Amino acid sequence: MNFADATSSRAGAQAFMRAASPTFLENWPPALGRLSIRSTKIRLPDVECRTLLRYFRRRDLNVFGCGKSREVSLKVIAKENLEGLRARLDKCLCAHYRGAYLRLGSRSPKDSAYGKRRGFRVVNGQKAISVLLTSRERVRFDLSVSILADSPVYMFLRDWTDIAPWREFRCFMIGRELRGISQYHYRGGQQYNEIMDHETEIRSAIASFFPKFRDACHLDDVVFDLAYRGARDPILIEINPSPLSGLSDLCLFEREHLNGEFRFLRGAVSS
């Protein structure tokens, strides 16, 4: 299975959904949700998905220009075509008093230019829609596959939770065994002294949390992301398709090396 097959035909999209959708937030068993971040689920009807997709197509034709004029267009589009969605988001956001992180059940719009510039904490429907509409690729891809496969789309607002990058770890479960833990942010060779300073505590916090995750999880093979919180249990951020599926980034591992290690990039050790 690969990402290109997913948008090439209905059969490809359906195969992709079979592999990936069990990890989507809307398909989690409640016990898994209890290990994660408090969320509100919002249905995104087909008509709204198609409006978003139409916007992406027109954006690629550069209909909206760039810079300020694109931002104005974003507001107009949201007002004209996505007013219902904006109102629903505003209403749901009342339950998230510190703001929320917005994502689809499948993935998040973390490739949003607007989010990167102004932050991803959304406090109103207008900002949420701006984040969605400025996703470079992820939102368009995920919506296209869902529409092609005839699958419903859900969005989630999740309680805003500050997560320092060093505290994020990608973990691997194969055959219901913990088969690896990796530093999550590794691109660019980023090293975190904090991980080195807390190596033993991090490993043991994840190892003692693991049985709770394993017992709550509906999948035998899965990639799962955690935020380390010191003495408290780590919090589950999300789950991703099997480490063996080719659909998930294995961070500092290669498939054949998933043997239970804890991997992170070590800084130079001073003598």
Ligand X SMILES: Nc1ncnc2c1ncn2[C@@H]1O[C@H](COP(=O)(O)OP(=O)(O)O)[C@@H](O)[C@H]1O
The residue (of 36 and 81) whose beta carbon lies closer to Mg ion is: 36
Strand duo 100-104 + 262-263: pairing? unpaired
Q: Provide the minimum distance between the beta carbon of 240 and ligand X in the complex, in angstroms, as a whole number.
A: 7
Q: Residue ranges of the alpha helices (H) in 61-189? A: 67-81, 83-93, 113-118, 125-133, 138-149
CB of 77 or CB of 236, closer to ligand X: 236
110 makes contact, choosing from ligand X, Mg ion, none, with CB < 5 to 8 Å by partner type, with ligand X
Q: Which of 237, 239, 247, 258: binder of ligand X (CB under 6 A)?
A: 237
Which stretches of 152-269 are DSSP H helices? 193-197, 199-216
Q: Are 201 and 194 within 8 A, CB to CB?
A: no
The C-alpha angle with vertex 143 and arms to 142 and 144, in degrees rounded to 5, equals: 90
Residue list 7-36, contact with ligand X (CB under 6 A): none
Q: Least separation, in Å, of the C-beta of 177 and ligand X? A: 23
Q: Residues 96, 158, 167, 170: which binds ligand X (CB under 6 A)?
A: 158
123: which DSSP letter?
Answer: -
- Residues 83-112 within binding reach of ligand X (CB under 6 A): 101, 103, 107-108, 110
Distance, CA of 184 to CA of 166 (rounded, Å): 8
Q: Give residues with Cβ within 8 angstroms of 114, minimum separation 6.
A: 74, 130, 131, 133, 134
Binding partner of residue 233 among Mg ion, ligand X, none, CB cut-off 5 to 8 Å per kind: none
Task: Catalog residues that contact Mg ion under the rule CB under 5 A.
Answer: 238
Nearest-approach distance from CB 159 to ligand X, in angstroms:
6
Size of the site for ligand X (CB under 6 A): 15
- For helices 67-81 and 83-93, angle between their N-to-C axes, nearest 10 degrees: 90
Closest distance between ligand X and the C-beta of residue 64, in Å?
A: 24
The least CB distance from residue 237 to ligand X, in Å, is 5
- Which positions touch ligand X (CB under 6 A)? 37, 101, 103, 107-108, 110, 158-161, 163, 168, 225, 237-238
